[in-house]
Structure 1
Amino acid sequence: MTAVTSALVFASVAHAQNKEIGEGLYADYCSVCHGDSGKGDGDMANVLTIPSPNLTLLSKANDGVFPMLKVIHIIDGRTGVRAHGGPMPLFGTMFSEQSVAGPDDYGSVLETRGRVLSLALYLESIQQ
């Protein structure tokens, strides 16, 4: 990878790690189950056999500290979520490093990690 390409990849990845991008990702991939406000009242809530958790109470349930690493592991599939029938997310590998093309595709790995971190930062921002 050339220096210019590396600089562009790292610049775009750094830009991708923010809660505004995470808010868009949440709206596109999470709100259907977890609700627009993150309280577990999405459009699919009435057909789920296991209720979606209220994502605004994650810090409260963790003694006032947002469990960033745990949230990241749930989003990227390292921690299986029973309600999703396996690794999260149910809709594919958008937040999983399984979506990368190969071991040398660092841009894709960094982009995936940027999406996960952006989503986690957004979830941290909606805590009650």
Structure 2
Amino acid sequence: MSRPIIKATLALAATLTLAACNEPAPMPDRRDGAAFFAENCTACHGDTARGDGPAASGLPKPPPDLTRLSRRNGGTFPDAKALAYIYGGPGQGHLARVMPEFGAEMAEDTVPVKIDGIWTPTPRELAGLLAYLKSIQS
């Protein structure tokens, strides 16, 4: 192989490598959210998200059935309310919550999610969790 061809090949390989490094990560989807849920939420909310996890009986207030959030909200999934509660909204003092706040740990990796018609920077893991929760509504 001649030197010009080798140089051109190396330049092309370097360009493709750099381009691959700069591609944004794909938007999280329901599968990502299901994985997050399985790792962080099933102890209380149960495998089916109905509030029947193994730790639920020891809580002062039973976890809600997460498959009915839309039904309890007039048929519309309550994106903003769910995100605020999961993230740890300012209206919920730490003593009033049983559920841990997830926001502080993941605030640096955000993606745009449309919440109440407004594109909102949302932690990647919570965006996936919202997609999952929406997908399990009954």
| TM-score, length-scaled by structure 2 | 0.68
The answer to whether the 8 Å contact 1:34/1:42 transfers is: yes
The counterpart of 2:32, out of the listed 21, 26, 33, is 21
Identity in percent: 31
Whichever structure has more helix as a proportion of its residues is 1
Aligned counterparts of 1:40 and 1:67: Cα–Cα separation in 2 = 18
Structure index of larger Rg: 2
The counterpart of 1:70, out of the listed 59, 72, 81, is 81
The counterpart of 1:118, out of the listed 128, 133, 137, is 128
Unaligned runs of 5+ in 2: 1-17, 112-121
Look up the match of 1:45. 56
User: CA RMSD for the aligned pairs?
Assistant: 2.6
Aligned counterparts of 2:134 and 2:58: Cα–Cα separation in 1 = 27
Look up the match of 2:47. 36
Aligned counterparts of 1:18 and 1:80: Cα–Cα separation in 2 = 27
Report the Cα offset of residue 5 of structure 1.
9.0
Whichever structure has more strand as a proportion of its residues is 2
Report the Cα offset of residue 99 of structure 1.
2.6
Superposed CA offset, 1:37-78 (max 9, x none): 010000101111110100011000000001111111111111
- Aligned residues, how many? 108
Aligned counterparts of 1:6 and 1:115: Cα–Cα separation in 2 = 21
Helix, strand or coil for the counterpart of 1:70? helix
Unaligned runs of 5+ in 1: 101-105
Helix, strand or coil for the counterpart of 1:124? helix
| TM-score, length-scaled by structure 1 | 0.72
The answer to whether the 8 Å contact 1:22/1:122 transfers is: yes
Q: Which has the higher contact order (CA 8 A, sep 6+)?
A: 1
Structure 1 runs of 4+ with >4 Å offset: 3-6
Helix, strand or coil for the counterpart of 2:123? helix
